[in-house]
Structure 1
């Protein structure tokens, strides 16, 4: 049986942590680099977002400012496109790219993009699973007998829902970036060479989602390995 304080599978957790840290550092570094390059159009993130929304026939989405750095997000519940301090009033190619990406989510919502719908339906399940999974698994390891196996398996099942959410998020994010890059050039907001710079920013951002999904998968595999070892030793 794996020791409570010494567990060789911790290396899987460490790999996940390192992957996420590298992805986070990369997106921050890339965004900072291209946030110093002003777009030829001189449009701010807010102006670009509004233009792209209207170009796609969307007039019921409100563009507003939110505090923070790279806290940009689209909220389908109240149809608000929230741009962070580093994006809202900035005229950089990085800021316009991020704003366009969030517009991509608004377009997905307006067009009924299936993966976005699936992700939305998974939100309550994923939140519920991520909240209860670890307490159940921990209790399962602290007790003995059939109840132990039941709780551990239930915890793993709930954690799997959170992992599934991370996986479903990937096509949603990649598609939003693809829509953004096409729209920016089609609508004349960025020149071709500027779109290339923006692509680097959005690619770096996408890698953070890939890293999160990979980390979650590694954690799930670790739990399955530990659970198997527990059953063999019971």
Structure 2
């Protein structure tokens, strides 16, 4: 399939968009890391969580670059070194975005609940979908081919439902950063640059997944 020109016609533009999005988020984070803030990422996230009554949610450092995430099973927010102890607009923006996910979890935010429920199916799809699809194509066993497509559709569903989850977490972060006095209204433009760049990566990933699913269906029907 990877030598099929139609694959690049379907997926190529969104693959390039994804590469641009990755470059954009890294370059924007680097620039906004040079803009000083009043607090570190840890302090900003702690303030946001405490203001929401989430004192039980712990914040831990984690290795890696931009590896920040909220773990709903452990109720722990994990921040990378360039966010946890850094006192910059980039750091407080990313930290409070992740704190926004903790708030969603506490409120049982519907898209987050649906996304979490879709994780097992999406994980299965990511491991097996392409193998089943290619196996079905090579052997001519049509049911296996379509099972692979359905499995990949679970990945697409996960990507699509993840968009409102990420957008809402960023919106919560922007509101709370100003409301808690971590940044001013004027400084919110710096945080928005980081969060908007990150949002582009989610959009690009979703579009690439949708385009790939369209290609798989096209290929199955063409065969």
Report the TM-score, using the length of structure 2 for normalisation: 0.97
Q: 2:117 aligns with which of 100, 103, 121?
A: 121
The structure that has the greater radius of gyration is 1
Instruction: Tell whether 2:89 aligns with 1:93.
Output: yes
Secondary structure at the aligned position of 1:82 is classed as strand
Residues 104 and 5 of structure 1, relative CA distance in 2, 3 Å threshold = closer
1:21-55 C-alpha deviation (Å, 9 max, x unpaired): 0000001111111000101x2x1000111111001
Question: 1:199 is matched with which residue?
Answer: 192
Instruction: Report SS of the residue matched to 1:57.
Output: coil
C-alpha separation between the residues in 2 aligned to 1:221 and 1:121?
A: 24
Relative distance call for 1:6 and 1:166 in structure 2 (3 A) is closer
Q: Deviations along 1:183-207, whole A, 9 cap, x unmatched?
A: 0000101011111110111011011
Aligned to 1:27: 25
CA change 1:4–1:105 in 2 (3 A) is closer
Paired residue for 1:70? 66
Change (3 A) 1:4 1:207: closer
Q: Does 1:157 align with 2:150?
A: yes
Partner of 2:212: 219
8 Å Cα contact 1:97/1:202 also seen in 2: yes
The structural deviation recorded for 1:143 is 1.3
TM-score, normalization: structure 1? Answer: 0.92
Deviation of the 1:130 alpha carbon: 1.6
Match of 2:79 in 1: 83
Distance (Å, rounded) in 2 between the aligned partners of 1:6 and 1:105: 40
Aligned residues: 223
Alpha-carbon distance between aligned partners in 2 of 1:60 and 1:154, rounded to the nearest angstrom: 42
How far off is 1:108 after superposition?
Answer: 0.3
Listed as ranges, the gaps of 5+ residues in structure 2 are none
Distance 2:60 2:2 in 1: 48
What is the CA-CA distance between 1:10 and the residue it aligns to? 2.6
Report SS of the residue matched to 1:71: coil
Question: SS where residue 29 of structure 1 aligns?
Answer: helix
| Residue 13 (1) aligns with residue 11 (2) | yes
Give the Cα separation in 2 of the matches to 1:95 and 1:12: 36
